[in-house]
Amino acid sequence: MTAYLVTGGAGFIGSHIVEELVRRGERVRVLDNFQTGKRENLAPFLKSIELAEADIRDRDACLDAVRGMDVVLHQAALASVPRSVKDPLQSHEVNVTGTLNLLDAARREGVRRFVFASSSSVYGDDPGLPKVEGREGRTLSPYAVNKAACERYCQVFHLVYGLETVCLRYFNIFGPRQDPFSQYAAVIPLFIQSYLQGRPPVIFGDGEQSRDFTYVSNVVQANLLAAEAPAAPGQVYNIGCGERTTVGLLAGLIGDILGSSLRPAHEPVRAGDVRHSLADISKARKELDYDPRIGFREGLERTVRWHQDKERPA
């Protein structure tokens, strides 16, 4: 049995990782301050996990949380480009200082491997498609700077202290439990809720911007592979599906699934948003044995059904 610490384990991605680890019978500890995570996400697993309610900005709490753990799967973050533009200091404190606290705690307490949730935002204004590890442009938001800095810290902790660190660059993850009601909600839950409530979904820009939308179970797979793959320490990997979908097409697909004829509304482009994003996942396929099993359309249908079920009265 392996002992895993999942930071941000009450969040969208973290809770899916926790669910799979519990299913596998592993020892699981969750560190979360519930600023953005939800207790209801952990409710089905509470009897099977240890819960540490604390903030990753607290160094002592980080030391306590990693003690006795084999692997840290670090998902905790303030994960929003617009939020980072509005409040860059808080973004830095949570995303960079919090990660550094955990890295230092992990190397002090003898953690075997540390898997960090990075972001495709680190590619910034690099015009090339698909995005390839090692070919990054200028970062376009404080959030992207946060993630790029944390990747460097992970690599330095591997080089200097021998801590096995792995960075996973997530490409627009979606699925059940993603909060549609946050001020900084992601596009897919926002669009679904707009249609369900009879409102036109809002597209920032012309709708031709594109993303590599990736269903959450693929990311769970990537984290658990990264925790064990022999070639992974010190490396950075793209985690996506290798498929590109425009935001306009996304809105149309969700409307089709829900049988809605509403047409999207358009507002100005937001600061910090990249125009196009598509993952080259060949390195992850080769070195992690990563294979995204749930495609975009199937994942979208599953996600829409989940939101519909949440809307239905009990």
Q: What is the DSSP string of 142-209?
A: HHHHHHHHHHHHHHHHHHHH--EEEEEEE-SEE-TT--SSSTT--HHHHHHHHHHTT-PPEEESSS--
Mean pLDDT, rounded, for 105-134: 96
Domain at 3-174+216-242, CATH class: alpha beta
Report the Cα 102 to chain-centroid distance in Å. 17
Mean pLDDT, rounded, for 217-246: 97
The per-residue pLDDT for 155 is: 98
Instruction: Answer whether residue 104 shows pLDDT above 70.
Output: yes
Active-site positions? 143
| pLDDT mean across residues, the chain | 95
Where residue 184 falls among pLDDT bands split at 50, 70, 90? low
Residue 244 has what DSSP assignment?
-
The per-residue pLDDT for 273 is: 80
Percent of the chain clearing pLDDT 70 (strictly above): 98
Mean pLDDT, rounded, for 190-195: 94
Residues in the chain: 314
Residue type, 228: E
Domain positions in the chain: 3-174+216-242
The per-residue pLDDT for 88 is: 96
The per-residue pLDDT for 313 is: 63
The per-residue pLDDT for 65 is: 98
Where residue 159 falls among pLDDT bands split at 50, 70, 90? very high
Mean pLDDT, rounded, for 270-274: 81
